[in-house]
């Protein structure tokens, strides 16, 4: 892994706080960190190339989803989406 990727995953490229209910599309995020308990709506990501979905998934505070995410709908809770 290059130093650039490590810098990206440690937040050096900034990010965005997303508090539900709110959807964000058209941006690229490298990781989603759950500040508190979060329920996700639709998520567009490269985590899973199948027809499975993360919609309705509940994540505990402190959870992190890594992977290229280009759309996320936070229905409940707050995430920090890192660029």
Write out pLDDT tens, residues 28-73.
Answer: 999 999 999 999 998 888 876 655 678 888 999 999 998 889 999 9
Backbone angles phi, psi at 65, to 5 degrees: -105, 120
Neighbours of 9 (CB within 10 A): 15
pLDDT band at 18 (very low <50, low <70, confident <90, very high): very high
Q: In angstroms, rounded to a whole number, what is the distance separating the alpha carbons of residues 14 and 43?
A: 20
What pTM, to 2 d.p., does this model score? 0.82
Residue with tokens 């706080």: 17
Residue 38 is predicted with a pLDDT of 97
């Amino acid at each position: 892994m290059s130093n650039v990727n490590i810098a990206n995953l440690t937040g050096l490229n900034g990010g965005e706080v997303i508090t539900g209910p709110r959807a964000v599309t058209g941006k690229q995020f490298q990781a989603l960190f759950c500040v508190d308990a979060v329920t996700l709506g639709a998520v567009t990501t490269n985590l899973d190339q199948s027809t499975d979905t993360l919609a309705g998934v509940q994540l505990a505070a402190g959870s992190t989803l890594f992977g290229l995410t280009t759309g996320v709908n936070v229905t409940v809770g707050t995430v920090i989406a890192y660029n």
